[in-house]
Amino acid sequence: MMEVATGVSLSARNLTRKFGNFTAVDQVNMEIGEGELRAVIGPNGAGKTTLFNLMTGHLRPSSGEVWLGSRLISGKHPHELVHYGVARAFQTTNIFPSMTVHQNVVTALLGVSRGTLRFWGVPSQKIQQTADEVLDLVGIYPHKDRKAGILAHGDQRALDLAIALAPSPKVLMLDEPTAGMSPYETHQTVELLRKIWRELKITILLSEHDMEVVFGLAQNITVLVGGRVLAEGDPASVRSNPEVISAYLGRAED
Amino acid sequence: MSAGTLLVEVLSGLSLAAILFIVASGMTLVFGTMRVINMTHGSFYMFGAYLLAITFHRFDQHAFGFAGAFVVSSLLVAALGVVVEFVVLRRLYQGEHLLQLLATWALMLVFGQLALDVWGSATVTPPSPASLSGTLSVGAASIPVFYVFLIAFAAFIFVALWFFNNRTGVGRLLRAAVEDHELLTTIGVNVRRLYTVAFAVGAFLAALGGALIAPEISVGPGIDLSILVESFVVAVVGGLGNVNGAVLGAILIGLAQSFGATYFPNMSEAAIYFVMVVVLIVRPRGLLGKEEF
């Protein structure tokens, strides 16, 4: 039922996170294949963001493990995971507003270059060129010398993506990439993600509360409700799953 | 008033500004990067001054000995800065800013008492380095060589800071941290280590200011608090977090102190606050401050 590529990229094993008496993520098991485009969907409060935070080291699991290929990554700091190849873009737009678009990406490349705090971190020709390529991929190369803070909202989100993609990650994690977007912007973003996935052949894991956004995009969908995996599979099987229909679709209001 | 007196007055103000800039640039760097208002900044200055007074005797009393003494003093204080960041501040980044303020304030009191216990309440003034004492004659005016040295040195520090901020990897990341430190984690930067570096550089600059001015002042209890207030005023006037602003703030406040002492001796203490109030009425974020704080 699941069309999974060659190896396993990112996996969660019995992943659990409690906040006091509240269990936000409860015994989650997930295996995301290399080069897979997976969506995690669920109503607001289903535990999607907590799950992402556990996978990127922003939160430590109460129990369970996260693996990147054959490397145990739970318990590592978020900045270390970037060096292992896990990139993340958040729900809010994160850019350096007073730098130019190009400087934003160069800074991202500086961050991940070997020996982050090395004294002579002068951007080399190669870094400049990589930055240009990433900007071209997300479609904002023409704006490269403009200040990031004055870009249109959609272009800022594209820059946010470019920052995440700059260090050539193996896995890209996106928190509700279309949150707060108009239908047109949502369509643009979906097309951009599809293009990135096809050209870079990287693993993409995205969370979304709007099911319709991911049906045309994701290969496989994991449905999270109340911190537990309710269903998993390709879009068609998830859509027709009666449990999903009653538990999730019936409740989602936004 | 003659042109000569005016020149001396201006140079005296600028030499005050030189020290204020060096100290305040450290404070503004730490605030800009870490959002910490570091109340121990004055203590670092005080330790720089005391350490210079101690170590200068071990070197010969010429410019080279002075250079050796103040480099040693400043580096020791930078190491103390690393310890403070590691042991105290690191635990408080998650909490409210008020906690950091209170913790560094408590440390200021501890360091103040420590200095009193170790060095006593008497003041010391280390000798001026022989090659930097004396005066230059410009027309009718005689200008202390040390003033010129301080101003030149502050200019050198400004250029060095500019180079550090704009041409080195650490400096670029520090500037990026001013804008969005969470995004730095996202791009793989060890922000904790970056903060340690920033705090050490801040402590180094405070100590450098203290060590440089030591031969000109009475080094004793209380200099930590007075420089803390003055450098805070400079940083606020220039715009907290902005090194270029610290230059403007230091020049304004230095000149206000110098001219205030000459023309309004009864109110000279108030002169710098008067300048601050006027600047903040016109530009609430300081001369070069940005809105987004």
- Distance from the Cα of B289 to chain A's closest Cα (Å) equals 13
- Distance from the Cα of B236 to chain A's closest Cα (Å) equals 21
DSSP label at B79? H
Q: Is A177 within a domain?
A: yes
Domain's final residue, options A138, A168, A198: A168
A3 pLDDT band (50/70/90 cuts)?
Answer: very low
Residue B41 and residue B209 in contact, taking contact as beta carbons nearer than 8 Å: no
Residues A160 and A175 in one domain: no
Q: For residue A119, what pLDDT is reported?
A: 47
Q: Is A194 within a domain?
A: yes
Q: If contacts are CB pairs under 8 Å, which of residues 88-107 in chain A contact chain B?
A: 88-90, 94-99, 107
Q: For residue B237, what pLDDT is reported?
A: 94
With a CB cutoff of 8 Å and minimum separation 6, the contacts of A247 are A225, A230
Residues A120 and A223 in one domain: no
Residues A102 and A134 in one domain: yes
Mode of pairing for the β-strands spanning A37-41 and A203-208: parallel
Residue A110 and residue A162 in contact, taking contact as beta carbons nearer than 8 Å: no
Residues A175 and A249 in one domain: yes
Q: Mapping DSSP to helix (H, G, I), strand (E, B) and coil, where does residue A144 land?
A: coil
- Distance from the Cα of B81 to chain A's closest Cα (Å) equals 18
Task: Find tokens 């760097």 and name the residue.
Answer: B29
Q: Mapping DSSP to helix (H, G, I), strand (E, B) and coil, where does residue A97 land?
A: coil
Kindly report the backbone phi and psi dihedral angles of residue B72, in degrees, each rounded to the nearest multiple of 5, phi listed first: -60, -50
Q: Is A237 within a domain?
A: yes
> What is the per-residue pLDDT across A63-116, written as a single tens digit (0 to 9) for each?
999 999 989 999 899 999 998 999 998 888 889 998 999 999 988 888 777 544
Model pTM score:
0.83
Average pLDDT value for residue range A185-193? 89
Across chain A, mean pLDDT equals 86
CB atoms within 10 A of CB B66: 27
* Max Cα-Cα span within chain A: 59
Q: Mapping DSSP to helix (H, G, I), strand (E, B) and coil, where does residue A66 land?
A: strand
Q: If contacts are CB pairs under 8 Å, which of residues 62-81 in chain A contact chain B?
A: 77-80
Of B176, B179, B188, the CB nearest to A82: B188
Q: For residue A118, what pLDDT is reported?
A: 47
Residues A150 and A254 in one domain: no
Average the pLDDT over each of A207-216, B220-229, B275-284 and give the range with the smallest value: A207-216
Q: Is A91 within a domain?
A: no
Whether A119 and B180 lie within 8 Å, measured CB to CB:
no
Q: For a pLDDT cut of 90, what percent of chain B falls above it?
A: 50
Residues A193 and A156 in one domain: no
Average pLDDT value for residue range B242-271? 88
Q: Which residues of B fall within a CB distance of 8 Å from A164? A: 186
* Residue count (chain B): 293
Residue of B nearest to A96 (CA): B179
Domain's final residue, options A141, A168, A195: A168
* Alpha helices per DSSP H over chain B: 3-34, 41-56, 63-87, 97-119, 145-167, 169-179, 181-186, 191-213, 223-238, 243-263, 268-282
Residues A31 and A138 in one domain: no
Domain's final residue, options A107, A142, A168: A168
Residues A212 and A246 in one domain: yes
Residues A76 and A188 in one domain: yes
Residues A253 and A184 in one domain: yes
Q: Is A90 within a domain?
A: no
Question: Residue A128 belongs to what domain range?
Answer: 97-168
Q: Is A107 within a domain?
A: yes
Token pair listed for A72: 């145990």
The residue type at B266: N
A229 pLDDT band (50/70/90 cuts)?
Answer: very high
- Is B63's pLDDT higher than 50? yes
B293 pLDDT band (50/70/90 cuts)?
Answer: very low
Token pair listed for A120: 């002579």
Residue of B nearest to A172 (CA): B186
Q: Is A24 within a domain?
A: yes
Mode of pairing for the β-strands spanning B135-138 and B141-144: antiparallel
Q: Which residues of B fall within a CB distance of 8 Å from A117? A: 169-170, 173, 190, 193-194, 197
Residues A156 and A145 in one domain: yes
Q: For residue A251, what pLDDT is reported?
A: 53
Q: For residue B218, what pLDDT is reported?
A: 86
- Distance from the Cα of A252 to chain B's closest Cα (Å) equals 30
DSSP label at B128? P
Q: Is A92 within a domain?
A: no
User: How many domains would you assign to chain A?
Assistant: 2
Q: If contacts are CB pairs under 8 Å, which of residues 134-173 in chain A contact chain B?
A: 163-164, 166-167
Residues A58 and A108 in one domain: no
The residue type at A29: N
Sheet holding A171-175, edge to edge: A86-89, A171-175, A203-208, A37-41, A220-225, A228-233
Residue of B nearest to A148 (CA): B179
Across chain B, mean pLDDT equals 88
Distance CA B58, CA A85 (A): 53
Residue B108 and residue B101 in contact, taking contact as beta carbons nearer than 8 Å: no
